[in-house]
Every structure is written in structure tokens, then in C-alpha cells.
Amino acid sequence: MNILKQLIPGSIKTKVSHARFWRERYNRRNASVVASHGKRLDLCAAQFAHWLHISGNPPLQDKVCLELGTGWIATHALIAHLLGAKKVVTTDIEALIRPSFIGTAVREAVPSIVRDVLSPFERHDRIRRRLDRLRSIRTYTLEVLGELGVEYIAPIDLAKSRLNIPLDFVYSNSVLEHVPVDDVSSLLDNLTADLAPGGTMIHAIHLEDHRDIEHAPFLFLAESGREYDSLKQTEYGNRIRKSHWCKFFDHVEGLESRLIFEFTRPDKALPPTVDSAISYVSEDDLRVSHVGVYGVKK
């Protein structure tokens, strides 16, 4: 089967992958998988708690939050709800969410882990009460999410338009690397413009080639910028390196930002040549695989 796939021209693969039937099948299959794995409620709670801890972010009690890039399962939005957010707006550039799988992500989680890892940021008894309610819901729908104070907005391109909702907190996980390079500045400007004074943002950004993260995380650095178009940037990663991400955030008017984490991949080879379109300062800069950025609106 893999040999047959290699014989199919890339243009044909692209057309098939974007066909409506195939997209729906793909989205449902992935929603089912991630609900029991990476988007399970206890795993996302641990991740969210880690962000809050290392950034020193203020409590989310009674705050208005925005999640950029919901994906198939709105688990991180539910974490903000568990932490007492007054309202959570969660968005996608295309409508990906599959609410019927949210129940799996909630019920397969270990409740005590969810409560315990979040308890430094909200009263334990309040988390328990909200979590018990989530676990009692038999079928999740967009209407049910709305009753919890979670609003899903999609499709929306926040690089092209603002929400025009005063926000206290903005966050994303493995989303900004899918934004075409030409749209990054306008996206960050729009997000910051919607932040209230003193509002904060956390972005966890994955800098590796998404086609083969395990074995060839830097392969896309060699591709010609003329051929590595916005579609490839969206699907496989925009190739922006850490130093360039720092420049993007430093140039956002009214935002004070800093790195809260940085991971590297010294174990994998870099390509012999790096495309001239890529901005970087050193080999170490090229090898950064993940960064976390924390910002505060002045």
C-alpha cells in the first residue's frame, strides 16, 4: 500500500485529500483517535496546568478566554471552563470539531488527575463540581457546549478579521506553526488588539516538519521557498525558526512577550542546505523544535 501511495502524483493526492467525503472520513477518524489519546481531558489538563505554572499566568476565574485552533475535540476549552472562565470562545479556520467524541475524552480521563493538576489554579471543590457535570453529559453538541459557556466559531480567519470581543486570555497549542508566514503579523496584531489591558496570551508552537516528526523533523528546511507555498505551510509547518518567532512577537504593538520554554532536537540531522527564504541566526536556532511564548497586553 505504501508503494502504491508513492506512485500517485502529489497533485492527485491533494485533490483527494480535500474532497468533501474524504475530509469528513479523515476528521471523524482523527477525532475518534485523539479523544482517547492526546486530547483526553486529564492529559490536556496536565499540559494546561504546566503552561499556567511556568508562565505565572493569573487565575482564569470569571475571565473571557479565546482558544485559537480548536481542532476535533474542544478539550482545552473545557479546561478553561473547569478553571472558572466566564466565557470561552474557541475557533477554527475551518469547522473541524466533532462534538460527539468529546464525551470519550471526558469519560476516559482519570477524574482525580484532572482535579489535582488543576487545583493550584482554582478551588478543588469547584473543579470537582464542574467536572462531575461534564462527566454526567451523555451526548455533547454545540448547544451543550454553549450551555457550559463554550462558544465555537468556525470558519473564521483571525488573521483577516478581529473577534471584537474583549478578551482576558488567549491561548493556542500547536496552531501558530500552521499559519502562513505572510499572515503571522496580522494574526498576532488582531489577537493583541482584542486583549483587554493586562490581558495575557500563551502560545505553544511546534517548529518541526509535520510530515515526519520522528525521523526527519528538519527536512522541510531544504525545500525551495518558491515551491513551499502557503498550502504546504498550513499543512506541514511554516518553517519559522525560534529567532524569527521572537521578532514577530517583539514587533506586536502593545504586547510584552517572553519565551517560557524551548526544546531542541540535537539527535536528528539538518539538511545539507537550508533554503535562503528561512531566517535564522545559527545551527542551534535551526534545531529548536518547540517554543512557548507568553505575552501581556500593556
The pLDDT value recorded for residue 212 is: 97
What's the mean pLDDT in 233-247? Answer: 98
Per cent of the chain over pLDDT 90 is 89
Residue 245 grid cell: 518567532
- At residue 26, the pLDDT reads 84
Mean pLDDT of 37-47: 97
Given a contact cutoff of 8 angstroms between Cβ atoms, the answer to whether 87 and 78 are in contact is: no
Question: Can you give the pLDDT at residue 130?
Answer: 98
Query: What value does the mean pLDDT take over residues 50-59?
Result: 98
Mean pLDDT of 64-73: 97
Domain containing residue 65: CATH number: 3.40.50.150
User: Which grid cell sits at 262?
Assistant: 524551548
**DSSP letter for each residue of the chain:** -HHHHHHS-HHHHHHHHTSHHHHHHHHHHHHHHHHHTTT-HHHHHHHHHHHHHHHTPPP-TT-EEEEE---S--HHHHHHHHTT-SEEEEE-SS----GGGHHHHHHTS-HHHHHHHHGGGS-HHHHHHHHHHHHH-SS--HHHHHHTTEEEE-S--TTT------EEEEEEES-GGGS-HHHHHHHHHHHHHHEEEEEEEEEEEE-S-TTSTTT-TTGGGGS-TTTS-HHHHHHH-----HHHHHHHHHTSTTEEEEEEEEEE-TTSPPPSS--TT---SSHHHHHEEEEEEEEEE-
Range(s) of the domain holding residue 56: 2-297
User: Quick one: average pLDDT of 7-35?
Assistant: 68
The overall longest dimension of the chain from CA atoms, in Å, is 57
Query: According to the model, what pLDDT value does residue 24 have?
Result: 83
Q: Is the pLDDT of residue 8 over 80?
A: no
Confidence of residue 21 (pLDDT cuts 50, 70, 90): low
* pLDDT at residue 23, rounded to an integer: 75
Provide the number of structural domains found in the chain: 1
Report how far residue 189's alpha carbon sits from residue 109's, in angstroms, rounded to the nearest whole number: 36
Report the predicted TM-score, pTM, of the whole model to 2 decimal places: 0.91
**What is the rounded average pLDDT for all residues in the chain?**
93
How does pLDDT run across 103-146, given as a tens digit for each residue? Answer: 999 999 999 999 999 999 999 999 999 999 999 999 999 999 99
Calpha distance 90→75 (Å, rounded): 10
